[in-house]
Structure 1
Amino acid sequence: MEKITLPKISSIQGTVKLPGSKSISNRSLLLAALGEGQITLENVLSSNDVDRMFEALQTLNIPCSRNVEERTVELQGCAGPLPNGDFNLYLENAGTAVRSMSAAICASKGNYVIDGNARMRERPIKDLVDALQKLNIDISYEFNTDCPPLNIKANGIKGGVTSVNGSVSSQYITALLLASPLAEDTVTINIDGELTSKPYVDMTIGLMKKFGVDVTNDNYQTFTVPAPQKYINPCNFIVEGDAGSASYFLGAAAINGHVKVYGCGKDSIQGESGFAGVMGQMGAEVTYGDNFIEVKSNGTLNGIDIDMNTMTDTGMTLAVVAMFAKGTTTIRNIANWQVKETERITAVATELKRAGASVEEGPDYLVINPPEKILNCEIETYDDHRMAMAFAILSLGTEITILDPLCCKKTFPDYFTVREGLVK
């Protein structure tokens, strides 16, 4: 296994132009494919997850081309459902792509297989499958495991009423929303329980509106999508910088440094952009601009008790920043960490303990008491990109070794190179 040893650093200083958001890149690729007209997507992320979505569109014979160096995609939309036929789509461990494609393909006609790698075959998708079956869609599991691979005998979406568990993953709701305008009649989606990660659903609805489709949101309990509606591609669409990726630099700056990230700002559609505000609550100096976020250390961070449900991915960054704070940090309402790239609550707790922390973990929370001195150790990343990038922050306290650092290719392939340009 490859590994990288990061020497102890004193601070992090400088500016970062953020790579495109993974969430927005994947959503915009699918929306563009479903839309009418030619479109140029700009600042599209180049990463494993987005690569798999783009390759799936190519497999479906959608006219599209990509300039990775310029971060652009040229695409001619289908002006409706994705192409009919018999297709096998391999999406590795790209959760957003698997879930959204599984729903969107139901509007087409043909036999489709949606599959991924070994980890994806362990990631439950039952709530989405159940919701699609309530719309009389013929979708089933190849191995009866409630996980991919999925077999879809698509014959269009007729419309109707369905329901989905909202407490596990907002990606299920996103998938249903993206597919619903392609139905023959209105689709109503009722949410069972409390909807998790609401900002991601807001992002989806906002992007759908930019592509010409309206959704009614009744207090996050019922979503109504009039259908049929047609997605209309704008001539150009610029993908926001990834706020989750920003958190690793902003979190490090809150500990000791001064960093300004460009690509998202005060009007960001990403819930994760609120992470800098959390650093402000802990004691850092924070500034939000039109297209930047800036964090500067004020010398001391204080532990915090906070609900991170609206920005769950950056909760991992917070957990590592807590190692440098004065007092206890409690991170709440993070049950959906367990259905991510790895079982993140357990993984984060295990590695924080390895670095010397006292950690209490529960089904939806972590309580972190930092050590007097962070221990020099090897950090296991569990093939989880966010583990690698978040735990690199520990190098502000000690030399640290990150195992399998290449897993960050999922969202930020050159993270360690960019980081190296900021360390002091």
Structure 2
Amino acid sequence: MNSKEIKPLKNLKKISFKLPTSKSLTQRALICSALAQGISKIINPLISEDTLLLKEALKAVGVNIKEKKNIWEVEGKYPPLLLGKKIYLGNNGTGARFLTALASLGKGSYVEIYGKPRLHERPMGLLIESLKKLSANIECLEKEGFLPIRIKESILVSRDIFLPGNISSQFISALLLIGPYLPKGLKLIIEGEVLSKAYIDLTLDVMKSFGVEVKFFENIFEVSKSNYVATVYEVEADASTASYFLAIPLILSKGEIIIKNYNPCSKQGDVKFLDYIKKMGAEIEILKPLGIKVKFEGVPKGIEVDLGDTPDLFPTMCILGAVAEGKTILKGAPHLRYKETDRIKAMVTELKKLGVKAEELPDGAIIEGTREFKKGIIINTYDDHRIAMSFAILGLKTGGIKIKSPECVAKSFPEFWDYIEKLYE
């Protein structure tokens, strides 16, 4: 069994570094540039399992992508080509949903989209149903509403699409991204409160960078018929990834971290992490022209947080709750149960193994902090990169934690373990 032991970090000095760029932004920029007329340049794309899978998937539908140092040159191909290929997307839920929408615009014969068994368990039904309402020709090959699927050429139409707000924001983003290429644009009417709205805002921001503005009023998105304009797009540091490292001073009860390429004004919803750790007692300094400093000494305070807009922060907030004084209540994110794994169940299960009092909620968890952690525990990562990275950070305090399948971090941050090693230098 492949595992990695985390040694305790006894003395965290002042540490300063740059972090990899955003997976969310890289994937959205890939889709927009794939449909744009002309050649776009994506500067500092994240190089990870998910982004590379989506890049290869786009090549399979006729998009020409050249890799240069820190730059991907993307020559758009509209309409995409359906060449009878089987396209593998691993466990890339975002990529699978975005590509399903993009391929529905395609011309040719067909493509099939498939992935790892867990990807085949992640719901696709409402996205497929919405695309079918737009006249897409999509066939589920094993189970209705799930991958694998076959997409054949069709002539899409413009219709009003009604969706519940409590679905994955990736469904909404996928439809918005192809909206400009429908005959009369697209109107999306969202019924109820929108979960993970920050990720939809991120989609709108990237679309705007490629020349398409979306109107949003009273839960209605309106996309006019238009085209993406090839552009130069620079990808920011990943706010989700940054959360693990910004948590370290609080986990260790003392220390200072500087991330030099962190944009606290980013449209990435996970910059809200700064608000969360500030409530727990961290000192935060915004650096000019770019960067953030987090300083902490003492014991973090347990807090109550609604993670509806920031579900990817759930694992990091769980480990902070494990060392905090009192209870930390995390709520508002039922969609966590449909990520790479059921993250609510997984985090609670693994925290309990370490001796932490933790309880599942339908939409989150209640965690009671402790100072006594069990030693020699093997953490099951469930092949989930965020679970692996969060428990690695907790292991800096407890020591003796072994992370099972540590290679799963490659999904979003292949160099994660190198960064951890630098902390001991």
**TM-score higher than 0.5:** yes
Which of 228, 231, 245 aligns to 1:231? It is 228
- The separation in 1 between residues aligned to 2:243 and 2:10, in whole angstroms, is 18
Is the Cα contact below 8 Å between 2:15 and 2:258 reproduced in 1? Answer: yes
- The separation in 2 between residues aligned to 1:271 and 1:382, in whole angstroms, is 25
Code of the residue aligned with 1:225 in structure 2: it is V
- The separation in 2 between residues aligned to 1:351 and 1:369, in whole angstroms, is 14
- The separation in 2 between residues aligned to 1:41 and 1:180, in whole angstroms, is 22
Q: Are 2:358 and 1:359 aligned? A: yes
- The separation in 1 between residues aligned to 2:112 and 2:187, in whole angstroms, is 26
- In the alignment, which residue of structure 2 is the partner of 1:406? 407
- In the alignment, which residue of structure 2 is the partner of 1:242? 238
Is the Cα contact below 8 Å between 2:237 and 2:263 reproduced in 1? Answer: no
- The separation in 1 between residues aligned to 2:403 and 2:70, in whole angstroms, is 28
- In the alignment, which residue of structure 1 is the partner of 2:145? 146
Map 1:284-303; keep pairs closer than 5 Å.
Answer: 284-289=282-287, 290-303=289-302
Code of the residue aligned with 2:101 in structure 1: it is A
For 1:283-341, what per-residue CA distance to the aligned partner results, in whole angstroms no more than 9, with x for missing partners?
01112334212211132210001101111101210100111111100001120111100
Name segments (4+ residues, structure 1) moved above 4 Å: none
Map 1:96-245; keep pairs closer than 5 Å.
Answer: 96-110=94-108, 111-219=110-218, 221-227=219-225, 229-234=226-231, 236-245=232-241
Code of the residue aligned with 2:105 in structure 1: it is A
Residue 140 to residue 108, structure 1, CA distance change in 2 (3 Å): same
Is the Cα contact below 8 Å between 2:49 and 2:411 reproduced in 1? Answer: yes
- The separation in 2 between residues aligned to 1:239 and 1:299, in whole angstroms, is 35
- The separation in 2 between residues aligned to 1:34 and 1:118, in whole angstroms, is 29
Displacement of 1:145: 4.1
Map 1:228-377; keep pairs closer than 5 Å.
Answer: 229-234=226-231, 236-255=232-251, 256-289=254-287, 290-376=289-375, 377=377
Is the Cα contact below 8 Å between 1:277 and 1:286 reproduced in 2? Answer: no
- The separation in 2 between residues aligned to 1:124 and 1:32, in whole angstroms, is 26
Is the Cα contact below 8 Å between 1:285 and 1:298 reproduced in 2? Answer: no
- In the alignment, which residue of structure 1 is the partner of 2:39? 38
The total of aligned residue pairs comes to 418
Residue 81 to residue 267, structure 1, CA distance change in 2 (3 Å): farther
- The separation in 1 between residues aligned to 2:139 and 2:260, in whole angstroms, is 43
For 1:33-58, what per-residue CA distance to the aligned partner results, in whole angstroms no more than 9, with x for missing partners?
11111122111111110010111122
- In the alignment, which residue of structure 2 is the partner of 1:77? 76
Code of the residue aligned with 1:334 in structure 2: it is A
For 1:100-119, what per-residue CA distance to the aligned partner results, in whole angstroms no more than 9, with x for missing partners?
11011111223121111111
- In the alignment, which residue of structure 2 is the partner of 1:63? 64
TM-score normalised per structure 1: 0.95
Code of the residue aligned with 2:384 in structure 1: it is D
Q: Which runs of 5+ in 2 are unaligned?
A: none
Q: Are 2:19 and 1:21 aligned? A: no
- The separation in 2 between residues aligned to 1:133 and 1:263, in whole angstroms, is 42
Is the Cα contact below 8 Å between 1:262 and 1:293 reproduced in 2? Answer: yes
CA-atom RMSD, angstroms?
A: 1.5
Code of the residue aligned with 1:101 in structure 2: it is L
- The separation in 2 between residues aligned to 1:223 and 1:409, in whole angstroms, is 34
- The separation in 2 between residues aligned to 1:224 and 1:299, in whole angstroms, is 49
Is the Cα contact below 8 Å between 1:358 and 1:370 reproduced in 2? Answer: yes
- The separation in 1 between residues aligned to 2:406 and 2:214, in whole angstroms, is 40
Corresponding residue SS for 1:107: coil
Residue 11 to residue 182, structure 1, CA distance change in 2 (3 Å): farther
Is the Cα contact below 8 Å between 1:276 and 1:293 reproduced in 2? Answer: no
Identical-residue share of aligned pairs (%): 34
Is the Cα contact below 8 Å between 2:331 and 2:361 reproduced in 1? Answer: no
Map 1:44-59; keep pairs closer than 5 Å.
Answer: 44-59=45-60
Displacement of 1:374: 1.5
Corresponding residue SS for 1:213: coil
Code of the residue aligned with 1:226 in structure 2: it is S
Corresponding residue SS for 2:370: coil
Corresponding residue SS for 1:361: strand
Is the Cα contact below 8 Å between 1:34 and 1:81 reproduced in 2? Answer: yes
Is the Cα contact below 8 Å between 1:104 and 1:179 reproduced in 2? Answer: yes
Displacement of 1:84: 4.4
- The separation in 1 between residues aligned to 2:11 and 2:97, in whole angstroms, is 40
- In the alignment, which residue of structure 1 is the partner of 2:378? 378
Is the Cα contact below 8 Å between 1:60 and 1:83 reproduced in 2? Answer: yes
User: In terms of mean alpha carbon deviation, does 162-171 or 198-207 score higher?
Assistant: 162-171
Q: Which runs of 5+ in 1 are unaligned?
A: none
- The separation in 1 between residues aligned to 2:163 and 2:112, in whole angstroms, is 22
Is the Cα contact below 8 Å between 1:359 and 1:369 reproduced in 2? Answer: yes
Q: Are 2:405 and 1:392 aligned? A: no
User: In terms of mean alpha carbon deviation, does 238-247 or 252-261 score higher?
Assistant: 252-261
Displacement of 1:262: 2.7
Is the Cα contact below 8 Å between 1:38 and 1:77 reproduced in 2? Answer: yes
Corresponding residue SS for 1:162: strand
Displacement of 1:9: 1.4
Corresponding residue SS for 1:119: helix
